[in-house]
């Protein structure tokens, strides 16, 4: 059992911290900007809460962060009441936020100066993956630090891998989002086309999902898409945040991402329809408006 702090109890962080407590058996202290979330977490899982990230991280062996964006991440890590103000030498900071590779490298450098390990560890699998402890975790950092952190991360993951140096986890998550954007748009167009052609979408998917067109998105989202239901996971607001990070990185490294840029614009159209909190499969709604 290790002493663990978890900072950020959103739709992902809340169950992830729970798995560290229940499945991992760790001594967990949580912090959330809205104190009511911390109270709800301790009521459900036990453990303790703290009034600041710094207080939560004091004496912890492992500190996890799962917040909104680069600025939020800097605030809870290197800010005035951030975890790096109190983390002990030899402890490890594991960041599950989907953020930029630049901020991952920045925090790795700051942590190293303080004798603290750092792993950028964004996740994929959505709210369901977090609740089921079945996330895919893409890590960047030093191999020795990763080897120490992995058994703890395993509490909420089905797949954990070290992708390379600091920032590599975030870069891998960017690739994940690039691939998802294209697949969801293709699935939306396929369903839209099939409906216009008068076909039974269930029968179509039953056949084509067993061939080269098959995907996780098709298997898990085609039915709700066909029914016009878009409340099943990762929200468009979050996806656009992620795609913004992707496109910024592409401008920096010279990668050409025409489909990703176009799908990002399509998600903007859905936001304009009022679909900010709809899940990413709602690209179909844009075609059917």
pLDDT averages per 10-residue partition of the chain, 289 residues: 97 98 98 97 97 98 97 97 98 98 98 98 94 98 98 98 98 98 98 98 98 96 97 93 98 98 98 97 96
Residues noted as catalytic: 173
Whether 55 and 160 share a structural domain: yes
Q: What's the total number of domains in the chain?
A: 2
Whether 134 and 222 share a structural domain: no
Tell me the Ramachandran region of residue 85: left when phi exceeds 0, alpha when psi lies from -120 to 50, beta otherwise.
Answer: alpha
pLDDT the model gives residue 286: 97
pLDDT the model gives residue 233: 80
> Is residue 110 packed enough to be buried (19+ CB in 10 Å), middle (13-18) or exposed (0-12)?
middle
Q: What is the CATH number of the domain that holds 177?
A: 1.10.1040.10
Whether 107 and 157 share a structural domain: yes
Q: Which 3 state secondary structure label does DSSP give 72?
A: helix
Q: Give the residue from 150, 165, 180 where a domain finishes.
A: 165
Q: What is the CATH number of the domain that holds 78?
A: 3.40.50.720
- How, if at all, do strands 135-140 and 123-124 pair? antiparallel
Whether 134 and 270 share a structural domain: no
Q: Which 3 state secondary structure label does DSSP give 45?
A: helix
Whether 202 and 132 share a structural domain: no
Whether 192 and 101 share a structural domain: no
Q: Which domain holds residue 219?
A: 171-288
Whether 252 and 131 share a structural domain: no
Q: Give the residue from 165, 184, 201 where a domain finishes.
A: 165
Q: Give the residue from 114, 140, 165 where a domain finishes.
A: 165
Q: Which CA distances in Å does 132 have to 18, 39, 46?
A: 11, 22, 19
Whether 199 and 277 share a structural domain: yes
pLDDT the model gives residue 232: 87
Distance CA 196, CA 199 (A): 8
Q: Which CA distances in Å does 44 have to 14, 39, 48, 87, 181?
A: 10, 9, 11, 26, 35
Distance CA 242, CA 86 (A): 30
Whether 129 and 250 share a structural domain: no
Residue 1 · residue 25 · CB < 8 Å: yes
Whether 31 and 145 share a structural domain: yes
pTM score of the predicted model: 0.95
Whether 160 and 175 share a structural domain: no
Whether 11 and 71 share a structural domain: yes
- Its sign, for the CA torsion 256, 260, 264, 266, is positive
Nearest CA-CA partner of 71 in 243, 280, 253, 245: 245
């Amino acid at each position: 059992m290790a002493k663990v702090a978890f900072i950020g109890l959103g739709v992902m962080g809340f169950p992830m911290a729970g798995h560290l407590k229940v499945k991992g058996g760790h001594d967990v202290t949580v912090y959330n900007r809205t104190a009511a979330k911390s109270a709800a977490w301790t009521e459900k899982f036990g453990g303790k809460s703290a009034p600041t990230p710094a207080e939560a991280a004091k004496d912890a062996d492992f500190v996890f962060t799962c917040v909104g964006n680069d600025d939020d991440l800097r605030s809870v890590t290197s800010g005035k009441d951030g975890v790096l103000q109190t983390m002990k030498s030899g402890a490890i900071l594991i960041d599950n936020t989907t953020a930029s590779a630049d901020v991952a490298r920045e925090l790795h450098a700051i942590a190293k100066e303080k004798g603290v390990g750092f792993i950028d560890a964004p996740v994929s699998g959505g709210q369901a993956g977090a609740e089921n402890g079945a996330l895919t975790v893409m890590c960047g950092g030093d191999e020795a630090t990763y080897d120490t952190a992995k058994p703890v991360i395993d509490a909420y993951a089905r797949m954990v891998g070290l992708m390379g140096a600091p920032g590599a986890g975030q870069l891998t998550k960017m690739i994940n989002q690039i691939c998802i954007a294209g697949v969801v748009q293709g699935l939306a167009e396929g369903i839209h086309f099939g409906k216009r052609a008068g076909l039974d979408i269930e029968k179509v998917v039953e056949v084509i999902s067993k061939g080269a067109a098959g995907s996780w998105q098709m298997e898990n989202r085609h039915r709700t898409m066909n029914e016009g239901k878009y409340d099943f996971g990762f929200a468009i607001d979050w996806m656009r945040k992620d795609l913004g990070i992707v496109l910024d990185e592409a401008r920096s490294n010279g990668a050409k991402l025409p489909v990703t840029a176009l799908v990002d614009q399509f998600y903007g159209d859905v936001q304009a329809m009022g679909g900010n909190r709809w899940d990413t499969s709602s690209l179909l709604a844009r075609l059917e408006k």
